[in-house]
Amino acid sequence: MAEEQKQPEVEAEGEEKKKSPMVKIILLAVGITVLLIGSVVGTLFASGFFSKKAPSADELLDAHENAGAGGHGAASGGHGKADSHGKPAVKAKDARKDDSPQKKAIPEEAATRFEKSYMELDDKKALVTNLSGSRKVMQVSLSLMTMYDERVFKNVEKHRAALRSGLLDVLRQVTEAELAKPDFRNDLALRLRDRINAELERLENFGGIEEVFFTEFVVQ
C-alpha cells in the first residue's frame, strides 16, 4: 500500500520536468521579440522619423501658389525670358518681389491699353556720322517711346552718353545701297531700339523702350 501511494508523486515530478524546457523556450522567444522591437524603435528615433519638422510658412505659400497654378493655368506671356522690349525674366515664385519698372495702365481701360510716354533722346545735339564706305553724311534725331514708368527715361538720361555711342556704332554701318530699300527707315528704327535696350539691360538690367521714331533724318 505504501508503494502505491508514492507512485503519483513520481509522475508529478516527471510532468514538471517536461514543462520546464517549454517555459524556458517561450520566455526566450518573448525576450528576442522584445529586443527586436526595441531595436526597430531605436533606429526610427535615431533617423528622426518621430521628429518630422512642420512645413515652414514659405513652403505652405509655395504649395498654395502651386495649387492655384494647377487650377487656373499659367498667365499668357508669364515670366521667363526677357521679351523683345527688354523686360527681364522673373520667376513665378519671385514675381511678388519684382522691383523693375511696370507698365502704366490707362484709367478705365486698364485691361486693354497702357499709357505711352515719349522723350527726345537729345533735343540739342543730333546724331551725325558718315555712311559706311561713303563721303555722305547722315544726321538723325530720335524720339523714344515706352509704356513703362518714369524710371525707364531716368535710366536713358543717366546713360545718355553710352546710348549715343552705341547708336553711332549702328549708324556707321549703314550703306548708300540700304537707303534705297523701301523699309529702310523702319528696319533702322528697330535696330536702334534693340541697341538702346541692350545697353540699358547691360547697365541697369532693364530696357523698356518700345519704339524709336525719327524726328530728323537727313543724308547729304
pLDDT in tens, 120-142: 998 778 999 999 999 999 999 99
For the chain, domain boundaries = 2-51, 117-219
Q: Residue 202: what pLDDT?
A: 95
Average pLDDT (14-33) is 69
* Helix and strand totals (H; E) in the chain: 6, 4
| Domain 117-219 homologous superfamily, CATH | Band 7 domain (3.30.479.30)
Q: Residue 1: what pLDDT?
A: 46
Q: Residue 39: what pLDDT?
A: 73
Q: Residue 100: what pLDDT?
A: 80
Q: Residue 2: what pLDDT?
A: 46
- Cell readout for 53 is 519638422
Q: Residue 196: what pLDDT?
A: 97
Coil, helix or strand at residue 191: helix
Instruction: Record the pTM.
Output: 0.53
**Counting Cβ atoms within 10 Å, is residue 171 exposed (0-12), middle (13-18) or buried (19+)?**
buried
Which distant-in-sequence residues (6+ apart) come within 8 Å of 177 by Cβ? none
Q: Residue 52: what pLDDT?
A: 53
pLDDT over 70 for what percent of the chain?
60
| Banded model confidence at residue 114, pLDDT cuts 50, 70, 90 | confident
Q: Buried (b) or exposed (e) across 134-167, using 16+ Cβ within 10 A?
A: eeeebebbbebebbbbebbbebbeebeeebbebb
Residue 207: closest CA among 86, 84, 82: 86
- Cell readout for 69 is 497654378
Rg, the chain, Cα only: 42
Q: Buried (b) or exposed (e) across 60-79, using 16+ Cβ within 10 A?
A: eeeeeeeeeeeeeeeeeeeb
Q: Is the pLDDT of residue 17 over 90?
A: no
pLDDT digits (tens, 9 = 90+) for 46-92: 666 665 555 555 665 565 555 544 444 433 333 444 454 455 444 44
Q: What is the mean pLDDT of the chain?
A: 76
